[in-house]
Amino acid sequence: MKKYELIFVTDASLENEVIDEVVAKFTDLVKANGTILEATNWGKRKLAYEVNKKWDGFYTLITFEGPADFNKELERVLRIDERVMKFLVIKVDDKKIAQAEFYAQKRREREAARSARFAAERAASNQEAAERAAAAEKAAAEKAAAEEAVAEKAAAEEAVTETTTTEEKTETPSEPVQETVQD
């Protein structure tokens, strides 16, 4: 017995009881001719394109094991039932699924490594930016301190110049003041 997947889309405008009846019909047909491994109702979904003037459908996926000649009978019954809008029966190749899962895992690992590398690079660039900002702040502080020292030195020199000028003014004799007396 080989493993198969059947997916079919039922008209979503039907009532829930009718949809359940269609799903039960096909699950019973599969059970009668094989073994159901998994049956999943995906629920109502929007179709990618209009089918039979409808845009919504109720999806059902059935994974089963059965004989190869059963597929033709299953497809014939699916075509006859007007409540089924679309269907697809495929043979599941376990080797290809395992290979696809292996490559998907490798891809996820590569993406995780790439994300980690980018995060490390971002952290390093953020650290470099922080170091540059700290260096710029330190340089600005040193420049401000140097300017303040120059300003203090200039103020001290100006104070010394003022005191020298004041001393010179006090040392110069003043001219005698003539008093004029008027009679």
- Our CA angle for 147, 152, 156, nearest 5°, is 150
Query: What pLDDT was estimated at residue 165?
Result: 62
How far apart (Å, rounded) are the C-alpha atoms in residues 23 and 29?
10
Query: What pLDDT was estimated at residue 183?
Result: 55
Give the length of the chain: 183
Q: Which CATH architecture has domain 2-92?
A: 2-Layer Sandwich (3.30)
Query: What pLDDT was estimated at residue 9?
Result: 92
Query: What pLDDT was estimated at residue 144?
Result: 86
Residue ranges covered by each domain of the chain: 2-92, 94-159
How far apart (Å, rounded) are the C-alpha atoms in residues 19 and 21?
5
- Tens place of pLDDT per residue across the chain (183 aa): 888 899 999 988 888 899 899 899 999 999 998 888 888 888 888 888 888 888 889 999 999 888 888 888 889 998 998 888 999 888 888 777 777 778 888 888 999 998 888 888 888 888 888 888 888 888 888 888 888 888 888 887 877 777 666 655 555 555 555 666 665
Place of tokens 């697809």: 88
How far apart (Å, rounded) are the C-alpha atoms in residues 112 and 106?
10
CA distance to 87, 141, 145, 164, per residue, from 153 (Å):
93, 18, 12, 16
